[in-house]
Structure 1
């Protein structure tokens, strides 16, 4: 659903650019809390969000290359807002998808540069807000089980895609450059994107379910699902405030060098991170070659309804990576796979850099000095 240059007029493009800028600024503040755990009440797993946020952006980039057929001559691809919000939080999710859209527009000429505000508003903000709001509502009414998280993920992702189609139709009604009946645009966009939403929901539910199966503590939307570790004393132990009978010897005092009570071990996210990077590289570098070559939902509707009448060439159309293919490499499999790998690496680097900086700023007090005590979140990277 990447909107090219020329679909939306300048005033609406500028307005959506301002909306996107404000939303990103708000998300930067909210993401600091999510990355540090403050936004989730300091529950277990909060401190592990930062290492995974950049990976989520890279994974979304990779899976977006896997267009799947949804109807005759039409394909769809993951939008990723629901997946990002559920895995790393809604504010961080907005930033993840925004990073993906920025990399796609600048490096791969996918989505217009003048339409970047439109795309962030539609694909990052609308999908994330709608999906996470619906997800949280479902989690509250469903049984507190891991399967409920997967079911809620499926429904939230399914609804988020036609919601983005409705948002695009609204933006086109305000600033469309071609004289097209809005009713026809609405019907066509929502109809095809309901089908695309089924694919989005399947990918989202499978991914969230896979992470929950191995590390539920890493899923933002599943926090609080599992009970924290409780240390219990033996029932044979004598309470400290109960007097010892006179005919019984007093218990021996614990030696000063006694070992402290056991605590929950810190579990590294390295294996999950490496598995996620490997999956992203396989999707972008290999499986993407077999993706559907049919136009996606927006491209198909734009062609059929005449929305693309005033479409403009992308400013980065001569980029060495334009159209997800490395320039001057004649083998399409190699050119596309190498472009995908470069894209995953670039998105991972930029995304991780953004979230690491945010986390470090959260760990620093207002005076620029490191936070101490209750101000500093726990570390477990």
Structure 2
């Protein structure tokens, strides 16, 4: 079966260091084009690609079958809608759009045209999250009563990145929050209610850089937090159950490897060293619990097979819509100081 021709729209840090390498090692995809408005940087690593200065020019040239959109959030809706109108399959970087209404419109267009529309939620394929799914499936901790997920960084100095400017879809909640909410949604489904405190804590910050979100799931307390002013060790995950607890520190190793420009290949890709494994604490003992392999490569392998009709998309647009509805409710809760009911 011939490879699916893929085009990358946007070649900033995320496009260059995350998407392009993952596409390049996918045996069923071929990176044939990149949209770069001002540069031709992608040709340094991928000399075979054709450079276009706009999405419109790329679509008019009919150079690719799959359009992968890695531009600022506020551009996603118009660009995805345009690509779909040209009959192209589309992958959009998370959270897909900046509103659930826009995402629903894209879903309708893709459905009418019989096209794939998916969202790059790579952190479903983090090794630690895969491990937590296994722990819960095995029931090691007994009945779960508490699930806590952190995504902390220390970036006290403001940058010129669009996420820190006064533009729609900016800030940490639409960024890291999308990952944490997506993971919680996969584990527990749609919450009954949302309660959130979203803030801009750094001096002169115009975009949110902290959130503390609680999702209502009956007997399970679910808390999701992120900060860019956290320079002390905090657990990435903390789970409490009637039989024991699980604590895990540190982020999945794949992002660091990709940003160091390591090609995502080899038998040891995504494998975490034993000293970084999480710990399970039972009543009479504690022990390290092996972190499963994380593997972002599976995302684009799935996209190719979904286009070929072999598999269903790993990330479905309905799931992305649900995540956006939770994000919208979180902002509403933070502004009103009240819980927002969802179901």
TM-score, reference length from structure 2 = 0.25
Larger relative contact order (CA 8 Å, sep ≥ 6): 1
Larger radius of gyration: 1
TM-score, reference length from structure 1 = 0.23
